[in-house]
Chain A
Amino acid sequence: MTVDLADPALYARGDPHAVWRALRRADPVHWQPGTGGPGFWSVVRYEDVQRVLSDHTRFTSERGTLLNLLGRGDPAGGRQLAVTDPPRHDRMRAPLHRALKPRSVQAHTGVIRDGIRALLPGRDRPEFDLAAVCGLLPLTVLGPLLSLPEADRPHLVRLALMSAAEEDPAVQLPQGPAATLHRAHRELFAYFADLVRERRRRPRGDLVDVLLAMEVDGVRLTPGEVLSNCYSLLLGAGVTLAHVPTAAVAELSRDGGYEAWAADPGLLAGGVEEALRWASPAGHFMRHARHDTVLAGVPVAAGDAVVAWLGAANRDPAVFAGPDVFDPARSGNRHLAFGAGPHYCVGAGIARVTLRLFFAELFARYASLRLAGEPVRARSTFLSGYLQMPVRAGFRGRGKEQR
């Protein structure tokens, strides 16, 4: 079959799930020839996605992990957590993982909850753009962790979006997608350069301080490595978390499941996992074969790019019964929304805490949420989610809202 998985329009206007479904059946290790550049393999089955992401001895992250870097390489390879292989990766990850453990972030729970309450519109604004509201959610969490001034957050969200969805008309600069990426990278690095300089003078005990103090094999990170990891933390949260609630609400608004889920507090945690599976906001991660290898019976040559589609794996009927049904009561939900293997999202714990807080507040405030217009999906091969979602909220009785 002829499909172009590298075409961002597929994810904005097409039906990627139908494409992935067909590939899972007929061509699960799919080669897409390059047009003026290298081609790439795609894996769409759960088992293959998990294997490619987990097996760093066969598949390296150091030549870039996003499809928009295919054929260009990544200057941060070996220097930024997400694009560094073990064993160096593990030594960089450990201190960040410690700082992001639930116990470490418990101190921020109150701040996050207050932030969420401030984000959600009240009775005076029953119609609003849920995507815009959720867009600020990541910084509500990451802001305190990196001590980012509140006034800077909308700008940072925009720059993160430019970095992850450079093809989208909402953020693309007139000079084109490549210029959009460059501009966003450089502005973010400049921003973090000033932040880091400030933090060197006055440590705040935040994640920036963790990066500044980090030693890998007795050697501190270089200034470029510190900035690159700040950038990576912003992207990791900034363009993913927001898309989990919107994906869930879009589906639940269609099938009336919102009220049922909201009515059963016992389904909160499981429903969040289902929302993560459903949304799969990081649509893919790319690897490169280190040497000639065989993937599900298909020979893959040394140096070939392999793209693992998380959104496809999370709808694989071999692992999920009724994969195209949103079921907050789903059991044994081993979704891959946070990835798999050594690069499993370092912020997964705090993301889960945040999403549970978010849905609890959402359910407490709104008895119902209905789409009030056509939602708009991002034009991006990586970022899978909605950038606009007009909704109409039905509010709970005053007593319940206050609980």
Chain B
Amino acid sequence: MDGGALHEEFIARDELGMSGPYVEPRSETERRLAALWAQHLAVAPVGVEDDFFELGGDSLLAAEVQVAIDTEFGVEIEAAAVFLAPTVAALAEAVRRAPDTAGADG
């Protein structure tokens, strides 16, 4: 997940007129999730309280993000966490709660 090379094509978060202030990731999980969102949305930086859809995401992209999170963290997070009111902070919590599938076929 090396976003550095792509950063020139990224949209700066400031240009989106987000409704809330930027909140920095506070844990390793939040940092990884924010990086993963940034990759999928081509927006940087991603704040942990930012809404996925407000950042320009749509339901199709959310589906790709769900699968990417499952793969990256070796878990199965609830779909509701990804599609309904998704923030990096909430997803980090969902990843923590999710059953571990590491080693499972899939």
Contact = CB atoms under 8 A, between A and B. Distances in A.
Interface string A236-247: 000000000000
Interface string B60-71: 111110110000
Given A75-B60, A224-B59, A225-B60, A193 B66 contact: yes
Contact of B60 (A190, A194, A197, A227): A227
A222 interface: yes
A191, A193, A222, most chain B CB atoms within 10 A: A193
Given A193-B66, A224-B64, A185 B59 contact: yes
Given A182-B53, A197-B76, A201-B106, A187 B60 contact: no
Contacts of A226: 63
Nearest to A231: B59
A225 B59 CA distance: 10
B53, B63, B64, B84, most chain A CB atoms within 10 A: B63
A334 interface: no
A190 B64 contact: no
Contact of A227 (B63, B80, B106): B63
Contacts of A329: none
Interface in A207-264: 222-228, 231
Contacts of B63: 189, 193, 222-224, 226-228
B73 interface: no
Contacts of A223: 63-64, 66-67
Interface string B70-98: 00000010111011100000000000000
Contacts of A103: none
Contact of B83 (A190, A222, A225, A228): A190
Nearest to A185: B59
B76 A190 contact: no
Interface residues of A, number: 23
Contacts of A191: 79
Contacts of B14: none
B59 A194 contact: no
Contact of B80 (A76, A190, A222): A190
B24 interface: no
A185 B58 CA distance: 10
Q: Give the interface residue-count category, chain B.
A: 10 to 19
A186 B67 contact: no
A227 B59 contact: yes
A79 interface: yes
Contacts, number: 59
Given A182-B53, A200-B106, A223-B66, A193 B60 contact: no
Contacts of A194: 78-79
Contact of A190 (B58, B61, B79): B79
Nearest to A201: B106
B77 to A, nearest CB: 10
A312 B61 CA distance: 36
A231 B58 CA distance: 14
A224 B79 CA distance: 12
Contacts of B58: 75
A223 B47 CA distance: 25
Contacts of B66: 193, 223
A224 B106 contact: no
Nearest to B83: A190
B106 A187 contact: no
Contacts of A186: 53, 59, 62, 83-84
Contacts of A201: 106
Contacts of B61: 75, 224
B78 to A, nearest CB: 8
A185 B84 CA distance: 10
B60, B76, B78, B106, most chain A CB atoms within 10 A: B60
18 contacts: A75-B60, A79-B60, A186-B83, A187-B83, A187-B84, A189-B59, A189-B62, A189-B63, A190-B83, A191-B79, A193-B83, A197-B79, A201-B106, A222-B63, A223-B63, A224-B61, A224-B64, A227-B60
Given A75-B60, A193-B63, A223-B66, 16 more contacts: A75-B61, A79-B60, A185-B59, A186-B53, A186-B83, A190-B79, A190-B83, A190-B84, A191-B79, A193-B82, A201-B106, A223-B63, A224-B60, A224-B64, A225-B60, A228-B63
Interface of A: 75-76, 79, 182, 185-187, 189-191, 193-194, 197, 200-201, 222-228, 231
9 pairs of A and B residues whose beta carbons are closest in the complex: A224-B60, A193-B79, A190-B83, A224-B63, A75-B58, A190-B79, A189-B59, A186-B83, A223-B63
